[in-house]
């Protein structure tokens, strides 16, 4: 019997009881259907993310002619690289971010969050359920990434559908229709960004894309065209997908734990710790794969060279050996070494921006409403790896 039944609706709806059972059976276990090892505990998952013998080794999806654009945007992605290529690319991207883009956007993000909450409050009027996912959680992160990159307003509605289609390729049990949609979205996104980058070369601005186009480091190195395009796509796919799902999962957790919501309303100083707790309590990314470049012992098993092992981030973030009362939501949890943003050299480069977005969103909800309640049952997305909601009906009162 496999340690996890990925096809069970109850597992997709709530994987944490299955994680708890699996942790009692062993920190690392083989999953025959997936063909890889799974690390269930915090210590072993952390080791998977940090051990330099376990790398992100990209292999093109086959047949290559069918997945040309999808393969291109992963072959050149910092997330799929190891040193020295990873070191070079991260240095260049970090130099562009160091120009103050995150802090430049903070007032704009806060203003946008306030306006989105106000619109929801007006539509709800204290009695009418409105979809928080559509009305805010999905709107804000896409708008922020678009503003960061300098995407024209008229083109911004294109981004979310492209990202949605591409990230479905990370799930298990994909259909040909999903694969075709992902490749089509990748091709359209690549073509769009090539045109936008060409325009920025002629008319640079103060946006991140302009800086990525013009950036050279002290050695005269710069991003290739493919690396530039891939970096922008990764920022959208990884950045906004995670933020959307932390926002939705986090608000649902608050609404299901009204004492914690009241506690947060009464003590706004808890907002930063609450944001970290939302990321721990219901992680937006549940699984992150690595490939062994040499035999590695993890959790009492040997991961042989060429085999894959995955850190189960949601399980690690509920490990009772590390977190007191891990199944409880605690907005004041001070000791919270969650690994939602990863660890080691692949720690999420967009983490500071995600925290700005999340603090703006939940800050606006607290500031501009007197009451929040579920308007109907939330609807969860039917995927496991990327964990989120498709509908979150809420009632808001000014």
pLDDT, tens digit only, all 398 positions of the chain: 788 998 899 999 999 999 999 999 999 999 999 999 999 999 999 999 999 999 998 889 999 889 999 999 999 999 899 999 999 989 888 888 777 888 888 999 999 999 999 999 999 999 999 999 999 999 999 999 999 999 999 999 999 899 989 988 988 888 999 999 999 999 999 999 999 999 999 999 989 999 888 876 556 678 899 999 999 998 888 778 889 999 999 999 999 999 999 999 999 999 999 999 999 999 999 999 999 999 999 999 999 999 999 999 999 999 999 999 999 999 999 999 999 999 999 999 889 999 999 999 999 999 999 999 999 999 999 989 999 999 999 999 99
Centre a 10 Å sphere on the Cβ of residue 196 and count the other Cβ atoms it contains: 18
The CA–CA distances, whole Å, from 336 to 181, 275, 319, 347 equal 38, 11, 11, 16
* First CA to last CA distance, the chain: 51
Domains and CATH numbers, the chain: 9-397 (1.10.630.10)
Q: What H or E segment, with its residue span, contains residue 371?
A: strand 371-374
Rounded to whole angstroms, how far apart are CA atoms 317 and 338? 5
Rounded to whole angstroms, how far apart are CA atoms 286 and 244? 15
As beta bridge partners, residue 391 has: 379
Q: The whole model's pTM is what?
A: 0.92
Centre a 10 Å sphere on the Cβ of residue 107 and count the other Cβ atoms it contains: 10
């Amino acid at each position: 019997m496999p340690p996890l039944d990925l096809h069970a609706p109850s597992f997709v709806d709530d994987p944490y009881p299955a994680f708890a059972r699996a942790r009692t059976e062993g920190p690392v276990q083989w999953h025959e259907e997936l063909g890889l090892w799974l690390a269930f505990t915090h210590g072993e998952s952390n080791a998977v993310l940090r051990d330099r013998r376990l790398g992100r080794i990209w292999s093109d999806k086959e047949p290559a002619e069918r997945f040309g654009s999808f393969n291109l945007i992963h072959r050149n992605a910092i997330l799929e690289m190891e040193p020295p290529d990873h070191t070079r690319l991260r240095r260049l991207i970090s130099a562009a971010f160091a120009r103050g883009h995150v802090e430049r956007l903070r007032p704009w993000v806060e203003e946008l969050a306030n306006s989105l909450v106000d619109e929801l409050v007006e539509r709800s009027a204290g009695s009418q359920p409105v979809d928080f996912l559509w009305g805010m959680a999905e709107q804000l992160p896409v708008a922020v990434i678009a503003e960061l990159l300098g995407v024209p307003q008229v083109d911004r509605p294109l981004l979310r559908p492209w990202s949605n289609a591409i990230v479905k390729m990370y799930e298990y049990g994909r259909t040909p229709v999903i694969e075709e949609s992902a490749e089509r979205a990748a091709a359209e996104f690549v073509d769009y960004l090539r045109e936008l980058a060409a325009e920025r070369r002629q008319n640079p601005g103060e946006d991140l894309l302009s800086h990525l186009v013009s950036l050279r480091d002290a050695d005269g190195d710069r991003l290739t065209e493919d690396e530039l395009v891939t970096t922008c796509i990764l920022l959208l796919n990884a950045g906004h997908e995670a933020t959307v799902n932390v926002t939705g999962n986090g608000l649902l957790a608050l609404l299901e734990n009204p004492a914690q919501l009241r506690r947060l309303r009464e003590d706004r100083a808890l907002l930063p710790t609450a944001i970290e707790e939302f990321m721990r309590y219901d992680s937006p990314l549940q699984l992150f794969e690595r490939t062994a470049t040499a035999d590695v012992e993890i959790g009492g098993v040997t991961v042989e060279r060429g085999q894959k092992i995955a850190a189960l981030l949601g399980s690690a973030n509920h490990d009772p050996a590390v977190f007191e009362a891990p199944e409880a939501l605690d907005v004041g949890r001070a000791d919270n070494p969650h690994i939602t943003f990863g660890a080691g050299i692949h720690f999420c480069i967009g983490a500071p921006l995600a925290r700005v977005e999340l603090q703006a969103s939940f800050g606006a909800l607290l500031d501009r409403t007197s009451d929040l309640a579920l308007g109907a049952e939330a609807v969860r997305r039917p995927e496991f790896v990327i964990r989120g909601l498709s509908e979150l009906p809420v009632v808001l009162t000014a």
